[in-house]
Amino acid sequence: MNRQSVLDRIEHWITLGWLSRLDRAFAGFLIDQEPTATESLLWAGALVSHQLGRGEVCLDLEKLCVNPGATLAIPSDEVRRAADEEIDRELALFNTHTLADWLQALAQSTLVTTAEGNTPLVLHGPRLYLRRYWQYQQILDHEIGLRLRPVRDNLPAALHASLSELFGRNTEQPDWQKIACVLALRARFAIITGGPGTGKTTTLTKLLQLLIQLAAGEHQRKLSILLAAPTGKAAARVSESIAQALEHLAMPDPIREQIPKKATTLHRLLGSRPDSRRFQHHRHNPLLADIVIVDEASMIDLEMMASLLDALPATAQLILLGDKDQLASVEAGSVMGDLCRGAEQAAYDQATLRWLNQYAATTLPAAGSGSAINQQTVMLRHSHRFGADSGIGRLANAVNLGDAGLVQSLLADKTRYSDVQHIPLSDATDARLKQLVTAETGDAPGYGLYQRVIRQRPSKPNAYEQWGWDVLQAFDCFRVLCALRRGDWGVEGLNQRLEQWLFPGKKPGLWYPGRPVMITRNDYNLGLMNGDIGVALLDAAGKLRVVFPNAESSGGKIRWVSPMRLPDVETAFAMTVHKSQGSEFQHVALVLPETRGPVLTRELVYTGITRAKSQFTLLASRPDVFTQAIQSSIRQGASAQNLSLFPKPTS
Ligand SMILES: Nc1ncnc2c1ncn2[C@@H]1O[C@H](COP(=O)(O)OP(=O)(O)OP(=O)(O)O)[C@@H](O)[C@H]1O
């Protein structure tokens, strides 16, 4: 096959929806740079670009040789499906290439190196990176590696006493919350991962109390502590959780004062600049911080994590909180999932076990020595939110285990687990769907409650602030979550149907009072971020405005924005599971499509279920599609980091 026929084949794959124009452009760029580029180089370049487009930071050539379809997610769920024979025929072109062939071909190119340099591509073992992403990995490796070294050999006696006081009433054994604090006191990097309600925020507030106490003893000074989350919505929720956790904790005022009460977004923390990927804070202008905490860390992509680490002063401690089992960011890199690989095993080495024995009064069984990161990672395991009789908690666990049989029996046991249900819809117009989304009252509210609050438009101007807030709260009681964007069961199709049921006669995309919208592009001038949700309402003067929660520390609870200033929005009755991360709703309805595909994974279903606070409804017409989803995990196919400190993939 010559260069032109590779480009022709790439064009054909574009018509099939398998590759994008950007992938073709990157192959073209490689020819411009190296007119003698081999066919292998062109394919490798186009495929690295394709992988980035679907959130993978590199092309794993080893996996490509074993299973090209699964490695490249070709065909994806959202494209015109080619006949099986055509898929096999097209992908067969990789059958003739062994890993050695790929590596040899790439080694011959002047556009590929294995380390520092200025080539567009970097080959690291069997993984091919765009240089920028390889550099991000280097930053992670270096900056996290630095922080993993213990900074203390012992803890002062006073801290011993505080630990006993803070955790004395915990009955859980082992006390993972205490273990998390004790490990985080040892080095400048810590990860606390756990499912919903496992006490991440509670543990964090206790940890901060200990760190503040420690600094007061060691340096007689106050700490600068910054708290952030990847999105505005997540930041608002974190602030709320911290406030709640602080209410339940007794501590001296000087310590309480140092604990940050308000989280900001990572973009704001780093100082984003319009139309630039670069932030105001970086290694030459680092953040003024002793401790930086990021909650909902599963949503951080590789580029953002590298930017954050680049902006951290060498002496600053980084604490990541989040649920490793949730979906990764939509952007490239499942950083949290990769960092937490092996967290379940608690594979602590002898030094870590001794430290825990001494300060957490815990003797854990030896579970083999994990990676350096494993030593500073703790997984909280007991949900304090979902009791033993909670269907949501049990369902989430069963999905995480990939146990399809248990999942089915939990969903079928309506007497024991009334907070979870499965409605097998017959088709896209099934009356039960309309009934569900329009429900106003009961345990499983739909959008009926939200419509009622909208109708209660106040007569007095000074009541609008509260009304706007109440509408936003009512809207957040329920959400329809989808796996896909397109099709009858995707966000686009469902939004249209739901809109017609809830606000009949409204044209898609046009403004009307009651239209909920999601911001689809960061607007730094307005301070609205991708994923923020608002609702269009008539203000006191009868003008249509969009009401958003106010993320600023000053001003009221809400803000009113003219729809004219919001070009990048979409209707938000239904949203993707990806976009729902960092949010929780009283009732969640998760809609799965009728066809199987690589997007449908255990992580997706788990994330959807754990967005629900009190009621979860599965809307899936094909049980086999649901079963396939919970039996396939992203982690199995993840392009795991291969740098020195990352845990090695188990698969
Ligand atoms: N050790 C504990 N004993 C009893 N209750 C606890 C304990 N830890 C946390 N809780 C309670 O469990 C609830 C959830 O705790 P918390 O908000 O800290 O969890 P989280 O993991 O941060 O939750 P989220 O999933 O919202 O991020 C809170 O009401 C908290 O007071």
* b/e 460-478 (16+ beta carbons within 10 angstroms → b): eeeebbebbbbbbebbbbb
Q: What value does the mean pLDDT take over residues 226-238?
A: 86
- Domain limits, the chain: 3-139, 153-385, 391-508+573-631
Residue-wise pLDDT for 352-375, tens only, equals: 999 999 888 877 777 777 888 999
Q: Annotated binding residue at 197?
A: yes
Atom of ligand 1 nearest to the CA of 610: 25
Question: Per the structure block, which two tokens stand in for 53?
Answer: 């487009």
Out of 211-220, 235-244, 398-407, least confident range: 211-220
Residue 132's CB is within 10 A of a number of other CB atoms, namely 15
Which of 163, 181, 198, 202 maximizes ligand 1 atoms within 8 Å of its Cβ, making it the mutation to test the pocket? 202
Query: Which pLDDT score is estimated for 641?
Result: 45
Q: Indicate the average pLDDT of the chain.
A: 85
Nearest CA owner, ligand 1 atom 7: 199
Taking CA atoms only, the protein residue closest to ligand 1 atom 31 is 245
Amino acid at 492: E
Phi–psi pair at 382, nearest 5 degrees: -105, 120
Which pTM value belongs to this model? 0.81
Please identify, in words, the CATH class of the domain defined by 391-508+573-631. alpha beta
3-state helix, strand, coil in the chain (%, to 5): 45, 15, 40
196 lines ligand 1 (CB under 6 A): yes
CA of 199 to the centre of ligand 1 (A): 3
Mean pLDDT of 385-394: 82
Q: 3-139 maps to which CATH number?
A: 1.10.10.1020
Q: Highest mean pLDDT range out of 463-472, 549-558, 613-622, 640-649? A: 463-472
Ligand 1 contacts CB of residue 582 (under 6 A)? no
Q: With a cut of 70, say whether residue 333 has pLDDT above it.
A: no
73/243 Cα distance (integer angstroms) = 42
Q: How far is the CA of 212 from the centre of ligand 1 (A)?
A: 21
With cut-offs at 50, 70 and 90, classify the pLDDT of residue 553.
low
Q: How far is the CA of 245 from the centre of ligand 1 (A)?
A: 8
CA distance 320 to 336: 9
Q: What pLDDT is recorded for position 317?
A: 95
Regarding predicted confidence, which is higher, 400 or 206? 206
In this predicted structure, the answer to whether residue 467 has a pLDDT above a threshold of 90 is yes
Mean pLDDT in residue range 198-205 = 91
- Ligand 1 atom closest to Cα of 194? 21
Helix 99-107 and helix 39-53, axial crossing angle in degrees, nearest 10: 100
pLDDT in tens, 296-314: 898 888 889 999 999 999 9
CATH number 3.40.50.300 given to 153-385 = yes
H/E run at residue 229: strand 225-229
Q: Are 498 and 574 in contact (CB under 8 A)?
A: yes
Residue 643: which pLDDT band, with cuts at 50, 70 and 90?
A: very low
391-508+573-631 matches 153-385 in CATH topology: yes
Q: What type of residue is 257?
A: E
Strand, helix or coil at 256?
helix
pLDDT of residue 337: 83
CA 350 to chain centre: 33
Mean pLDDT calculated for residue range 594-602: 75
| Predicted confidence (pLDDT) at residue 642 exceeds the cutoff of 60 | no
